Each structure stands twice: as structure tokens, then as C-alpha cells.
Chains A and B, each alone.
Chain A
Amino acid sequence: DIVMTQGVLPNPVPSGESASITCRSSKSLVYKDGKTYLNWFLQRPGQSPQLLTYWMSTRASGVSDRFSGSGSGTYFTLKISRVRAEDAGVYYCQQVREYPWTFGGGTKLELK
């Protein structure tokens, strides 16, 4: 299985600042079609996860442009600009390059 490893944020993050969440995969997530099969989700307290980005950098419908995904084949970053209270929660990366799909362990974002 592809192992997804997420970094830790130096919490809490001051409101209005930027935050970068990292994720590393044990194998390249680039498929032969050139796309990188990496999703990012946010799970707010008490809620179901919400898709933020797919194909590493494509924002899901309705997601703020303050969220931007980037990376290479095995190292990924989700940048959140101008952090707001509603961004608090746990962020998960997920690979959908190879079965079984696997998630990272989550990165908690707390706001000051």
C-alpha cells in the first residue's frame, strides 16, 4: 500500500497569516495521463470531511481560492492564505493513484 505521511503544523496559527500543510507519499502519484492523483480534505469539528482539491491542485466546486495545492510526484503542500476561523479542523491528504486508496494521518489546524 502507498503510505501517506503528513506533517505537523506549529499551532496555533494567527488569524490572517498563511499556513502550509505537507504530505508525502511512499510512491509517485503521477499516472501515465500526467495527472497527479492526490486529494485534500478538511474535516471541521463534528462534521464530515469536505473535498478541497483533487488532481493535486484543482480546487473543488465552491472552495475558496485561499486554498492552493502544489507539489511533485511524492511531496505535496496545501497552502491556506489569510487563515480564518472557519479553516480550523483536521486536514487529510489522500492518494487515489493505486488501490487501496489511502489517507494521511491528518494535520490539525488551530487558530489563535
Chain B
Amino acid sequence: EVQLVESGGSLVQPGGSLKLSCVASGFTFSNYWMDWVRQTPGKSLEWIGEINTDGSKTNYAPSIKDRFTISRDNAKSTLYLQMSNVKSDDTAIYYCTRYSGDYWGQGVMVTVSS
């Protein structure tokens, strides 16, 4: 069974940093591009970015570019999202997804507030 389990969400102050993790199981992680998507409270979905199979290529949404970094560790079947200089607008549920969007994690809440 394919599973994606995010962790690392918390309350963080504006300007602070946070690193989210997503542990994958039930499929060969290293064969798939992976994405991060977020959902702000009561609002729609926003694609954050993606990473290729070996971690050598990433693509990001303009809204978070230069503040967020996506990486992966295929040996640990884990996807990461490093968030820096966070703003109140970054408050959202963060999901990791397999590239095609066919599998999503349960999501993790990040709250940016002083």
C-alpha cells in the first residue's frame, strides 16, 4: 500500500525557518518525481514545487522561490521541504504528493505567527 506521511509542522515566527519531511512507503521512491502542495485555510490548493528522481532538478512556484527548498534522500525514501524567511501567508496545510498527484499524504499544518 502506498503511503506518504508528512511531519515537522508547527508554529513558527515570521522570518523563521522550518523543515518538513515526508516518508514514503509502498512504492519505489527513487523512481518518482515528488511534489509539495499547500492549502491555505478555507482556500484552494497551491502547487509549491517538485523534484526529479535523483534530486538534481527542481522547479518552484514564483511565490516561494528563493525561500523554500525541496530535497530528497532516496536511501531513506524521504522528501523534504526547507522553509526559510516564512511569512504569515505561508500558514497552510502542506501535502507531499507523488508526481502525478495519484497519492497524497495526510498533510501537516504550518502556522506562521508571532
Residues of B within 8 A of A106 (CB): 44-45
B46 adjacent to A103 (CB under 8 Å): yes
B interface, size bucket: 10 to 19
B47 adjacent to A92 (CB under 8 Å): no
User: Of the candidates B59, B95, B101, which one forms a contact with A54 in the assembled complex, judged by CB atoms under 8 Å apart?
Assistant: B101
B11 within 8 A of A: no
Select from chain B the residue with minimum beta-carbon distance to A47.
B106
**Residues on A facing B (Cβ under 8 Å):** 1, 39, 41, 48-51, 54, 60-61, 92, 94, 99-106
Tell whether A105 pairs with B44 under 8 Å between CB atoms, given A99-B59, A100-B61.
yes
Residues of B within 8 A of A1 (CB): 62
Select from chain B the residue with minimum beta-carbon distance to A54.
B100
Select from chain B the residue with minimum beta-carbon distance to A103.
B45
B100 adjacent to A49 (CB under 8 Å): no
